[in-house]
Structure 1
Amino acid sequence: MENMSQVPLKQPIVFRLEGFDITREQGYPLFVVTFIVYAVMLLGNLTVVTVIATDAKLHKPMYMMMCNLVACDLLGGTVAMTQLMSNFLTGDKSIGYVAAIVQAFCLHTYGLAVPTILAAMAYDRYVAICQPLHYHSIMTTRRLVLLCFLAWFIAVVLILILLILNVGTPLCGTLIKHVYSSDQSILRLACFPTPINIIYGLCANWTLRSCTFLIMAFSYAKILKACVVKQEKNSRNKAIQTCTSHLTIYILFEIAVLNIILTYRLQGVSPNIKKFCAIIFVIVPPTVNPIIYGMAMKDIRTNIVKFFKSTVLPK
């Protein structure tokens, strides 16, 4: 560790985010761009939630889980992008210790909760398509609440344990070489190696991702088999469209994760490129997801059109 020879810092600690290597003048146009992207993200996700909340026909398990995914996307996107906009606008890249821990908690929760929610959505589609006659008896309100609770609970508990391990670690530096605070960026400031923290983080992350992948692989394999057997063309097409949107979102998210992993391990990649890939992780999925749902799911698309006609266009 680069900080081993230093004296441990005392509280209160104020970190400084390294951020992008840009001038103050370059920060202003970047703030405008980031603000526009964030506004589009908010508009798209809040529109989906509003449409679902105001239409009783959409008060179904699939759409309730979709609202949980929206909440998760907004959590990750808001925490990262508001910090980024503040840095671009003011040039002040300082962040307090508690704020850094909270930011890391929110971003890591986003990173783990997205696959668990998508796994719950895959199970819901499996029951709906493969066991349609028993769907309402299986996907009761109680089971829906339980699935949503577990999706969040598993992610939150895993991250809480990780951050509790980190809180007691003495730090010998204050420069976080990132655009936002994360578990790894804080651990790099530790006065001595932290193998337990690193091993736990890797095991928790990959175990969860492996489990959610297996659940989704099983669910969609069964769904694909059922779609091949189905005689009704309309039902088959609707099932394929719905599952395609879920799979597209999952693949897009995992590509964003893989992009971060590869750029941080490949030699010769510039620091700005690495940081840009880290920002893509919290910008692209939350911004694109509402578009994917709007294009692939007729119920959402139709209700969005009705919503804008009644609220935006003059009568």
Structure 2
Amino acid sequence: MENLTYNSPVLQLESLIVSEQSLYPTFLFFLIVYVLIMVSNIGIMLLITMERSLHEPMYFLFCNLPFNDVFGNSVVVPRLMMDMIRPASEHYISYIECITQAFCYHIYTCASHTILMAMAFDRYVAICNPLHYTTIMTNRMVAKLTASAWGVALLLVVILLGLIIRLNRCGTLIANLFCDNASLYKLSCEIAYINNVYGLVYTGAVTGSSLGTIGFTYSRIAAVCVTNKSKTLNSKALKTCSTHLTVYVFMWLSGFFLTIFHRFTGVADYRKGAALLLHIGPGILNPLIYALQCTEIRHGILKILHSKKVMP
């Protein structure tokens, strides 16, 4: 029996447990949600690409968010839906596919933080130093911020999963909806001190740096608004920053609870719920919040809709 489970090339996903009565409604719900995420986020990216009035640093940086949501949800949701219609005994995944899924999942979650940090810097310059905005936020700076956001995420995740790959495995059951570092570590036969330390450093660095960056930039923005007492400036700051802050708070809380639930046993359902929120929530909220709050994006959508009505 040991030979069958020791470093097995095939693992089993616990996935989402759904009763027969609620199988098709649940499947249909996830299908609708997935289609909405794809259509809305790809639509936002196409709108920013095609509409010349949106060719500004803020929107180019924002374009990374819908791209990340499309990427992250494409890795998890289709597989989740496939497993839903299969018997629990057939929820198999190869170890290589599991590592790939974990890699993409952690890139998605880490990049969510780094992209929002880059966007916070843009808002800080726009509101606190508006006279020098065009000289600071050049196309080159936007490219640097974008490359840094993805590059930092890639480096941190490569180290994270590089440490997990070297460990021997005794278990085969991934007690989660999808593969991630914490679930893979629970399969290990070894208690690896370096993995525990780096896991804490990774979590602290990603969440702590994003919290610190956004806390600093928004406190400075608030100070400028209070000092200037300009209704126009305060209105601009409220519109652009409230959307950014809402998305960040939702994402941070979902990730925080998911990390906490991984540390305790007997909370599998809560952990799965937090994992779903972390994935599906931002993918739906981002285009909705920005489309409603951002005047330029809303005008771009209305312009396209109006042109389609006029054409016939």
Q: Tell me if both proteins adopt one fold, taking TM over 0.5 as the criterion.
A: yes
Q: Which amino acid in 1 is paired with 2:109? A: G
The answer to whether the aligner puts 1:30 opposite 2:26 as a matched pair is yes
Given that 1:9 and 1:170 are in contact with CA atoms closer than 8 Å, whether structure 2 keeps it comes out as no
Q: Displacement of 1:240 after TM fit?
A: 1.6
**Residues 93-145 of structure 1, C-alpha deviation per residue, up to 9 Å, x if partnerless?**
11111111111011111111111111111111111111111111111111110
Aligned to 2:83: 87
Report the Cα distance in structure 2 between the residues aligned to 1:188 and 1:268, rounded to whole angstroms: 15
Return the structure number with greater relative CO, CA threshold 8 A, min gap 6.
1
Report the Cα distance in structure 2 between the residues aligned to 1:155 and 1:222, rounded to whole angstroms: 26
Aligned to 1:143: 141
Given that 2:8 and 2:169 are in contact with CA atoms closer than 8 Å, whether structure 1 keeps it comes out as no
Aligned pair partner of 1:101 in 75, 99, 102? 99
Aligned pair partner of 1:67 in 63, 66, 77? 63
**Structure 1 residues 23, 210: CA separation in 2 closer, same or farther (over 3 Å shift)?**
same
**Structure 1 residues 199, 124: CA separation in 2 closer, same or farther (over 3 Å shift)?**
same
Q: Displacement of 1:178 after TM fit?
A: 0.6
Report the Cα distance in structure 2 between the residues aligned to 1:245 and 1:23, rounded to whole angstroms: 37
**Structure 1 residues 204, 177: CA separation in 2 closer, same or farther (over 3 Å shift)?**
same
Aligned pair partner of 2:117 in 109, 116, 119? 119
Aligned to 1:280: 277
Aligned to 2:50: 54
Q: Displacement of 1:245 after TM fit?
A: 0.7
Q: Which amino acid in 2 is paired with 1:237? A: S
**Structure 1 residues 238, 302: CA separation in 2 closer, same or farther (over 3 Å shift)?**
same
Structure 1: runs of 5+ lacking an equivalent: none
Structure 1 window deviating more from structure 2 (24-33 vs 181-190): it is 24-33
Report the Cα distance in structure 1 between the residues aligned to 2:86 and 2:265, rounded to whole angstroms: 32
What does residue range 145-294 of structure 1 map to in structure 2 within 5 Å? 145-230=143-228, 232-265=230-263, 268-269=266-267, 271-294=268-291
Structure 2: runs of 5+ lacking an equivalent: none
Report the Cα distance in structure 2 between the residues aligned to 1:283 and 1:240, rounded to whole angstroms: 26
Structure 1 vs Structure 2 CA RMSD: 2.1
Q: Displacement of 1:274 after TM fit?
A: 2.4
The answer to whether the aligner puts 1:303 opposite 2:291 as a matched pair is no
Q: Which amino acid in 2 is paired with 1:27? A: L
**With structure 1 as the length reference, what TM-score do the two structures score?**
0.91
Q: Displacement of 1:81 after TM fit?
A: 0.6
**Residues 228-281 of structure 1, C-alpha deviation per residue, up to 9 Å, x if partnerless?**
233542333022210111111110101111222344446653x23321221111
Report the Cα distance in structure 1 between the residues aligned to 2:186 and 2:20, rounded to whole angstroms: 27
Q: Which amino acid in 2 is paired with 1:187? A: Y
**With structure 2 as the length reference, what TM-score do the two structures score?**
0.92
Q: Displacement of 1:8 after TM fit?
A: 8.2
**Residues 168-220 of structure 1, C-alpha deviation per residue, up to 9 Å, x if partnerless?**
21111211111100011111111111221121011022122212221111111
**Structure 1 residues 190, 157: CA separation in 2 closer, same or farther (over 3 Å shift)?**
same
Given that 1:8 and 1:171 are in contact with CA atoms closer than 8 Å, whether structure 2 keeps it comes out as no
Given that 2:13 and 2:91 are in contact with CA atoms closer than 8 Å, whether structure 1 keeps it comes out as yes
Given that 2:6 and 2:170 are in contact with CA atoms closer than 8 Å, whether structure 1 keeps it comes out as no
Aligned to 2:9: 13
Report the Cα distance in structure 2 between the residues aligned to 1:278 and 1:129, rounded to whole angstroms: 35
Given that 1:8 and 1:172 are in contact with CA atoms closer than 8 Å, whether structure 2 keeps it comes out as no
Q: Equivalent residue of 1:90, what SS?
A: coil
**Residues 27-66 of structure 1, C-alpha deviation per residue, up to 9 Å, x if partnerless?**
3332111101111111221121111111111111110111
Structure 1 window deviating more from structure 2 (92-101 vs 156-165): it is 92-101
Structure 1 window deviating more from structure 2 (5-14 vs 282-291): it is 5-14
Q: Which amino acid in 2 is paired with 1:191? A: C
Q: Alignment length, in residue pairs? A: 310
**Structure 1 residues 90, 314: CA separation in 2 closer, same or farther (over 3 Å shift)?**
farther
Q: Equivalent residue of 2:106, what SS?
A: helix
